[in-house]
């Protein structure tokens, strides 16, 4: 039992230690306090895109606003939701990597990503990101790819559906991810037409 959870526990331990070691580096100098002011404006009843200027997707700001409504508007609450998102991201990296390499190397890959993307003293980190829309979308995209791989391996429609829903979350967070939506359709078409195990099966709307 321990061997099954050993590597995720190592990742979690590294993450907790990293949060304590680098906690003072998360206060990066930003050009605008947008990521806090937009959720604050939503809580005050202002209309996004009409009364609040924004050129990113709306969904992450509403999620953060809901989080602030529950736990009150504060920098600590903002850090907390980004820490939660960071955990989702790094475990997504681990599970995705483990689809192609063994648990040991998947763990090492995750720790490397953690050091470069999470605990980064520059403006681009997950704890106090320049854009929460991008970090939220990136987390969802990792899981979208993970479920797409599972769909390929297990021939189960539910994985394709989950992957597509997560892609929708990406687009609602960062508009540029719209270009990624074609991957599921192309992958699905290839899966049906060039893999004999998918013959006469319906995957996400494509029927042979």
Report pLDDT digits (tens) over 139-176.
999 999 999 889 888 878 899 899 989 999 999 988 88
Residue 201 pLDDT > 70: no
Task: Answer for the pair 15, 114: CB distance below 8 angstroms, yes or no.
Answer: yes
**Quick one: pLDDT at residue 25?**
63
End-to-end alpha carbon distance in the chain: 43
pLDDT > 50? residue 67 = yes
DSSP state of 176: G
Residue 148's closest CA among 193, 96, 207, 194?
96
Which pLDDT tens digit goes with each residue over 104-143? 999 999 999 998 888 876 666 788 888 889 999 999 999 9
What is the rounded CA–CA span in Å between residue 67 and residue 71? 6
Predicted TM-score of the model (pTM): 0.83
Please provide residue 157's backbone torsions phi and psi, each rounded to the nearest 5 degrees: -60, -30
């Amino acid at each position: 039992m321990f061997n099954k959870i050993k590597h995720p526990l190592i990742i979690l331990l590294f993450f907790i230690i990293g949060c304590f070691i680098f906690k003072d580096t998360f206060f990066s100098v930003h050009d605008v306090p947008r990521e806090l002011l937009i959720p604050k404006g939503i809580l005050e009843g202002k209309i996004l895109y009409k009364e609040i200027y924004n050129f990113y997707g709306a969904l992450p700001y509403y999620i953060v606003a809901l989080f602030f409504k529950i736990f009150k508007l504060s920098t600590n609450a903002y850090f907390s939701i980004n820490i939660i998102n960071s955990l989702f991201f790094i475990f997504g990296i681990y599970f995705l990597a483990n689809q192609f390499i063994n648990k040991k190397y998947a763990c090492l890959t995750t720790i490397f990503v953690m050091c470069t993307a999470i605990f980064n003293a520059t403006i681009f980190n997950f704890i106090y990101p320049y854009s929460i829309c991008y970090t939220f979308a990136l987390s969802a995209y990792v899981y979208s790819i993970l479920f797409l791989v599972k769909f390929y391996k297990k021939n189960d429609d539910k994985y394709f559906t989950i992957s597509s829903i997560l892609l929708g979350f990406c687009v609602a967070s960062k508009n540029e991810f719209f270009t990624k939506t074609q991957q599921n359709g192309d992958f699905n078409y290839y899966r049906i037409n060039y893999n004999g195990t998918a013959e006469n099966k319906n995957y996400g709307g494509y029927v042979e």
